[in-house]
Amino acid sequence: MNESAENYLKTLLILQKKLGEVRSIDVANELGISKPSVSVAMKKLRKEGFVNMDANHNLILTEDGVNYANSILERHAVIERYLIEILNVDEKIAHRDSCRMEHLVSEETFTKIKESYARITHNCLAGDYTLVPPTILISDIETSDNDMK
């Protein structure tokens, strides 16, 4: 799924929790885009089984839509917290960067970020800071010609 579609699902979930009933105009206003753009996107998401529309033209996430949107929100939250709490990135920058990264990071990488965050924060809360690995300098890493391709 592309970044735009993921943002629509994420926005729909947030608006459903906030407003209860969500119409295309609500999504358009939230994202600052035209209602026709939302209509085109919703048609695609309905076709893919992520969104339904009721008799009153309210947009409703399907179970698959809710699950997918929640996974994107989880990625955003974990990446943002990691950037802020572990890497000491400014909150505004971390929020902006996590909005981009949530769509690009592989499942394997996200799992490793999540595990690392949990391990580091758990150990720090317990007063054990020794598990944070030392900094590795790029100059210390040997690369082969194949690594550069």
Residue-wise pLDDT tens for the chain (149 aa)? 899 999 999 999 999 999 999 999 999 999 999 999 999 999 999 999 999 999 999 999 999 999 999 999 999 999 999 999 889 999 999 999 999 999 999 999 999 998 888 888 776 555 554 444 444 444 444 444 444 44
Within-domain flag for 39: yes
Residue 22 lies in a domain: yes
Domain range enclosing 57 = 3-61
Asked, for residue 109, whether it belongs to a domain, the answer is no
What distances in angstroms separate CA 7 from CA 15, 24, 34, 59, one per listed residue? Answer: 12, 14, 15, 15
- CATH number for the domain spanning 8: value is 1.10.10.10
Taking the C-alpha atoms of residue 58 and residue 50, their distance in angstroms, rounded to an integer, is 14
| Domain assignment present for 50 | yes
pTM score, two decimals? 0.76
Inside any domain, residue 33: yes
Domain count, the chain: 1
Is there a contact between 73 and 10 (Cβ–Cβ < 8 Å)? yes
Domain assignment of residue 67, yes or no: no
